[in-house]
């Protein structure tokens, strides 16, 4: 996968997660598979609206759908979430190292001042 393809996939995933209903759908699917009807139950929107949210999540690669007879359950794609977590962690670790260096400088400054 090229850098551009990876960036495009990250863009789609983060854009999809920008909506609170889609984040709630991801949270629900983290507990197990569910159909669109089951996913739609707690939301004050139409089943068609939830279906569109599911399509966005699927296009972003965050969920998959399978066929089980008449049922079409949705499943969380844990690998896609792991990719997002890895991307975030890379920046978090960089910031943590910078803060540790800043803490060291401040401690040295404090010791020199006393």
Q: Say what the pTM is.
A: 0.77
pLDDT at 39 over 70: yes
Max Cα–Cα distance, the chain, nearest Å: 75
CATH number at residue 36: 1.10.10.10
For the purposes of burial, counting CB atoms within 10 Å of the CB of 97, is it exposed (0-12), middle (13-18) or buried (19 or more)? Answer: exposed
Handedness of CA 73, 78, 79, 82 (dihedral sign): positive
Q: What is the pLDDT of residues 61-71, one digit of tens each?
A: 999 999 988 89
Expressed as residue numbers, the domain containing 49 is 3-113
Decide: 40 and 21 in contact? Cβ < 8 Å. no
Structural domain tally of the chain?
A: 1
Decide: 7 and 18 in contact? Cβ < 8 Å. no
Q: What is the pLDDT of residues 6-26, one digit of tens each?
A: 889 999 999 999 999 999 999
pLDDT band at 114 (very low <50, low <70, confident <90, very high): low
């Amino acid at each position: 996968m090229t850098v551009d393809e990876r960036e495009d996939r990250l863009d789609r995933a983060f854009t999809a997660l920008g909506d609170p209903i889609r984040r709630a759908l991801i949270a629900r699917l983290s507990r197990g598979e569910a159909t669109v009807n089951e996913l739609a139950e707690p939301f004050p929107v139409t089943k068609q609206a939830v279906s569109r949210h599911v399509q966005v999540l699927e296009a972003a690669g965050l969920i998959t759908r399978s066929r089980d007879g008449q049922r079409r359950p949705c499943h969380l794609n844990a690998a896609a979430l792991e990719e997002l977590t890895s991307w975030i962690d890379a920046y978090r670790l960089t910031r943590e190292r910078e803060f540790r260096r800043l803490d060291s400088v401040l401690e040295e400054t404090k010791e020199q001042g006393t």
